[in-house]
Amino acid sequence: MNNFERIRESLAPRGLDAMLITGESGRRYATGFHSSAGMALVTERSAYFYTDSRYIEAAEKSIEGARIEMTDSASAYYDKINAVIDAEGLRRVGIEEKAMSHADFLEAGERLRAELVPAQELLAALRTVKSAAELEKLAEAQRIAERAYYEVLDIIREGMTEREIAAELVYRMLRAGAEGIAFEPIVVAGVKSSLPHGAPGDAPVKRGDFLTMDFGCRYEGYCSDMTRTVAVGGATEEMELVYSTVLRAQTEAIAGARAGMTGFEIDRTARDIIEEAGYGRFFGHGFGHGVGLDVHEAPTANPSGKTPMPAGSVISAEPGIYLPGRFGVRIEDVIVLTEEGNVNLTKADKALLVL
């Protein structure tokens, strides 16, 4: 699955003759092919993919609709791109400015015989609206993560460490068909559950702990992202209150989310509930973020999100309450916004579970 035509159709409205794609996820979006090195060039007439000897054979077998060429010391990336610039008379070439280092930007500007135009938003806008094929991959990535989650629930016990639980999640996602993890799992228990992005450690999980597990995998490039918080052995009344508050905030915000709303509006629904319960200052991050080829991408559902989200946007729904030095709760699903509302890709149960 490539997106050369969608990119090509976006050139003229932005006054571009071509788009040079250098970022890893951008290349995969354009070509459908994953590699750690390469450049894609999409013009109004053609598409090109350049890579080195490590990937050339696989690229030739995998990428359709583009000319595939190998780079080497005698014919580097910018040499090949300049040849197209000259042959097609390209004047303005869009670049992924956020995917380039300052040094790479300077080198490209010095070596390429065209005006380089920052055009990160071209790809970001296209990637915001997921196709049916993309949604299928996102859903399968979620199914894999959930299978791993339910398997791990069966083996969690007092005395296991956060690191052991994280390792089990990774192993079981890979065994279930993931091509890799979407990010390093966040598995934190007890007082560490108040750390939204805490790292798994070697302290044993104890009776009375909240255990938060935030994890995801990749399936054909597309990410899953889910968080569940469970109680080990039991939960106090306050723990139950905090959990029910987060769950209500998430549930009501999801119920009202639809295409055309801004990130601010979706976030506000959940934030109002948490604030009314007296925990507003303990919800420091946004309601959610875009999920796709990157686990964090456009659009975002947070207080700064002022742009209406189009149908086909995929965002996480992950409010949380974090009481420093005590405990925290986060619950996360991934939803697809539609004109009528949304579709929740996450099927795992959210009722408070006591292991």
Residue range 223-239, pLDDT digits in tens: 999 999 999 999 999 99
Q: Which CATH architecture has domain 132-344?
A: Alpha-Beta Complex (3.90)
> Which residues of the chain does CATH 3.40.350.10 include?
4-127
> What per-residue confidence (pLDDT) applies to 1?
85
| pLDDT score for 222 | 98
Number of Cβ within 10 Å of residue 307's Cβ equals 12
Look at residue 283 in the predicted model and tell me its pLDDT. 98
Run of H or E residues at 263: helix 263-276
Q: Which residues sit opposite 47 in a β-bridge?
A: 42
Could you read off the pLDDT of 90-111 as tens digits, one per residue? 999 999 999 999 999 999 999 9
Q: How far apart are CA 124 and CA 289, in angstroms?
A: 13
State residue 46's pLDDT score.
96
Delimit the CATH 3.90.230.10 region(s) of the chain: 132-344
Cβ-based burial of 43 (10 A; exposed 0-12, middle 13-18, buried ≥19): buried
pLDDT for 14:
97
Residue position matching structure tokens 């490539």: 2
* CATH architecture of the region 4-127: 3-Layer(aba) Sandwich (3.40)
- Reading the block at residue 247, the tokens are 């769950």
pTM: 0.94
Q: Mapping DSSP to helix (H, G, I), strand (E, B) and coil, where does residue 67 land?
A: strand
The confidence score (pLDDT) of residue 339 equals 97
In a 13 Å sphere around the CA of 292, the CA atoms on its Cβ side amount to: 25
The 10 Å CB-count burial string (b at 16+, else e) for 53-87 is eebbeebeebbeebebbbbeeeeebbebbbebbee
Low-confidence stretches of the chain (pLDDT beneath 50): none
Predicted local distance difference test score (pLDDT) of residue 73 = 81
